[in-house]
Structure 1
Amino acid sequence: MYAWGGDQVDQAVAGCVAALRPAVDRDWRAVNAAGLEWSVHQTAVHVADDLIAYAANLAGRAQDAYVPFELTLDEGTDNAGLLHVIETTGALLAAAVRTAPREVRAFHPYPFRSANREGFAAMGIAEVLAHTHDIAGGLGLEYEPPSELPEFVLTRIFPHVQPGPDHWRTFLWATGRGELPGRARLTEWRWNNNLALPADRLTLQGITPAAARDLVAGGDGGFEWIEGGPFEGTREASGFMLKAYEGGVHRPEFGVFALVRREDGRAIGGMGFHGVPDEEGRVEIGYDLAEPARGNGYATEALRALADWALARDDVHVLFAAIDHENAASQRVVARAGFTRATVEEEKSHGELETDLRLYVLKD
C-alpha cells in the first residue's frame, strides 16, 4: 500500500527520542549541535517547533502563512520533558497526516507555497532526521535511522537529488551534512514539494519519484483513479521520469502531472513534459486520459493550464506536441489549446519524427 507518512513520522520521532534519551542528564545548553550555531537545547526545541507548525498548517488548512503561534516551553522544563514535547508534537503531525483528506494542500513557503499531507510528513521527518544527527553529533552519541526513512524523504521532497545506494548518506549530502563520492559538498540546499497547478475543473498534481515508482510497478501512485485509469501512457511517462530521477537529470517542474478532478478528487489522466527545455527554450509535451474521461474537454483545459504556466517562464519559448496523424480527437485538443501545425522548418529543427506523427507547436 502506498505510504502517506503518518507511520513514518512516528518511526522517525521514536528513533530520535531513543537516540537522545541516554544523554538527558547532560547540559544541553552548554554544547552546540554538530555543524550548527544553535545549542543542543535550541536545536531540540526547533524540532518540536517544526513538528507542531507543520501539524497546525495541515490541520488548520493554512493557505497564506503559518498559523500564528509559537511553541514555548514551561519554565524549568528539563531535557526529559523536552523529549516528551518532541514525542507529542510528532504524534500531532502524524495524526494530522493520517486524517487530512488526500487533496488538501496547506501553506509552506517553498518552493511553490503549498504541500499536501505527504509533503508535510516528509518535511517533518527530514527535520527530525537531520537535527537528531546534529544533536547526536554534539553530544557524542551514535545515530543512524532505518534506511526507509531517508528514502521516504528523498523520493518525496528531494526529486532533484540523484539517489544513491545508501539513502542515509545521500540524505546527509542533500542537506549539506556529508560527503558523497563524485559530488561536491553542498553549502546551500532546499527541499522541493511537488507542484500543483489549478485549472477550472482540475488540479494538475506533480508526480513525485515515489509516486512514479509505484505507478511503474502497477500501483495507483497515491491517487484515486476513475475506472480505466491510469492509462498506459501515464505509466510509461512515469517510467521515463523515474529514469531521469535515477540518472540525476530530473527537474520536477518538467516532470509528469496527474490530472485530478476537483469535484471528486479522482485522477483521470496524466500530462507532462518529455524532458527539460533545450538551449533554445523548446520542450515537448504529452498527455493521455482514461477512456471514461474523454470527450469532456478535460485534456484541453489541462493543456491550456500547463502551457500557460510553462510559457510564462523565462526558460520556455516553444511547446511541441507530437500526435498520430489518425488521432483526430487529440489534434482537436491541441488546436483548441492554441497549438498550430508545425512548419517544415520547425519539424526539421525538432529532429527525426516518426512517419505516422504530426508535430504541433505553441509559442510564447
Structure 2
Amino acid sequence: MSGDQVEAAVASCTATLRAAADRDWEAVNAAGLEWSCRTTAFHIAEDFAGYASRLAARARHRLPLRITLPEGTDNAGILQVIEATGALLAAAVRTAPPGVRAFHPYPFGTADREGFAAMGVAEALLHTHDIARGLGLAYEPPAGLAESVLGRLFPHVQPGPEPWPTLLWATGRGELPGRAPVTDWTWYNNLVIPAGRVTLTGIRPAAARDLALGGDGGFDWLDDGPYEGTREACTYLVKAYEAGVHRPEFGVFALVRPEDGRAVGGIGFHGAPDEDRRVEIGYDLVTGARGQGYATEALRALTEWALARDDVGTVLATVEPDNLPSQRVVTRAGFTRATVEEEPATDHGHAGDEQLLLYVRRP
C-alpha cells in the first residue's frame, strides 16, 4: 500500500464532498458522530498531517503539532486543506524506507509506511461516508481501497462478499447478513518484535497471500528466500484469515536484518493458544543465513513475548530426530525435551507425530 492509494482516497473524498460545498456543514452532524460535518472534514486533514509528520520524523511519541483553520475558511478551503495534507501523507509514505516505523497507539504502539497509508485511507473513506450520510449524499469509494484497508488494518475480520460493506460493518457503520452488529472495534497494525540482530516483522494477510503464491510478500529476501516452510505457513495464515479465525499477534513473522533490510527467514505460531494455554512455534531460515544464531535469537524473543502474555502458559516446538542444528537452536532458546509423561498431555498439532521430537518451554 503506497502513496497512490492515499491520493486515490483523497480524490474520492473531495470529489464527493465538493458537490455539497455550498451547504452549511457546521449545522449538520456527520452520521453516527457528535461532530459536525465541518469538524469531521477537518479531522481528516488533521489525521493526514499527524500521520505524515510522525512517519517523516520517525516519531516515538505524539508530536506537539497542531494545524488550525484561519477564521472565515469556507468548505472549499477545507477541501483544499484535505488535498494538501493528503499530498503530504502520500509523500511521506513514498519516501519512508520499508523498515521505518513511527508511533501510533493502536494496538502495538507503532506503524510502518503501509500502516500509515492504510490508516490515512481508512480515515478518508470512513469519515467521507459519515459526512455524506449527514448531508444526504451518495458515497461508495473504489472497492480496491476498501479491500486494501481490510487486508492491512483488519486482519482479524473475515472478508465479506463485498469489501466496502464489510469495512462499514467492521467499524460499526453497517450490517452484514449473518453477522452480529459491531459495537466496539479497533484496527491492527502489524506487530514488530526486536530479536537481537533481527526484527520479527508481522506478515499481513495480503503479503502472506503473495508469499503463498510464490511472491516475495514485499520483503527483500536474502539468497533464494523465503524457504518453503515460510510459504506453507503463509498458506495457513491466509486460510485462517479467510475463515475469520486469524489472530494477527499469533501469525507469521519475517526475520529482517535492520542493517540492510534483508529478510533471512520466517517464524510463527501454528495457531492461537488452545484452551490449555499452549501454543506451538515453527521457524526456518534461508540457506545463506543458517549457522549464524539468527534462529536462536528469533525463537528466544518470540517465545519470551508469548510467555509474557496471560493467555500463554506453554510454548511447544517440534523437531525432526535427525535435525541436530534445530535441536541445538531450541535448546539454546531455553526449551527442554518433553518427558514421557508430558508428551501425551501436551499433544498439540504435529506434537503427536512419533517421528518428531517435542520440546517444551514454560515461564
TM range (shorter): over 0.9
Q: Distance in 2 between matches of 1:95 and 1:259?
A: 27
CA distance in 2, matches of 1:332, 1:126: 45
TM-score (norm 1): 0.98
Alignment pair present for 1:317 and 2:313: yes
Q: TM-score, length-normalised on structure 2?
A: 0.98
Paired position in structure 2 for 1:89 = 85
What is the aligned residue count? 360
The equivalent residue for 1:36 is 33
Q: CA deviation at 1:356?
A: 1.8
1:241 and 2:237 matched: yes
Structure-2 separation of matches of 1:235 and 1:269? 11
Unpaired runs of 5+ residues, structure 1, are: none
In 2: Cα distance, 1:292 partner to 1:27 partner:
63
Q: What displacement does 1:269 show?
A: 0.4
Deviation at 1:218, TM superposition (A): 1.3
Match for residue 304 of structure 2 among 297, 302, 308:
308
- Residue type of the alignment partner of 1:303: L
Gaps of 5+ in 2: none
Letter in 1 for 2:353: E
For 1:62, the equivalent position in structure 2 comes to 59
Distance apart, 1:353 and its partner CA: 2.2
SS state at 2:27 partner: coil
What is the 5 A alignment of 1:95-244? Answer: 95-244=91-240
1:247-293 deviation per Cα after TM superposition (whole angstroms, max 9, x unaligned): 11111110000000122111000000000111111111000000000
Task: Give the letter aligned to residue 22 of structure 1.
Answer: A
* Residues 337-348 of structure 1: pairs in structure 2 closer than 5 A: 337-348=333-344
SS at match of 1:29: helix
CA distance in 2, matches of 1:270, 1:25: 54
SS in 2 for 1:73: coil
Question: Aligned AA for 1:61?
Answer: R
Calculate percent identity across the aligned residue pairs: 68
* Counterpart residue number, 1:6: 3
Structure 1 runs (4+) deviating above 4 angstroms are: none
- Return the alpha-carbon distance in structure 2 between the equivalents of residues 11 and 282 of structure 1: 44
Q: Write the distance in 2 (CA, Å) between the matches of 1:266 and 1:165.
A: 36
Mapped contact 1:273–1:285 kept (Cα < 8 A): yes
Task: Please tell me the residue identity of whatever aligns with 1:309.
Answer: W
Deviation at 1:208, TM superposition (A): 0.6
Once superposed, what is the RMSD of the aligned Cα atoms? 0.9
CA distance in 2, matches of 1:74, 1:326: 72
Q: Deviations over 1:64-98 (max 9, x none)?
A: x2221111011111101100100111111010000
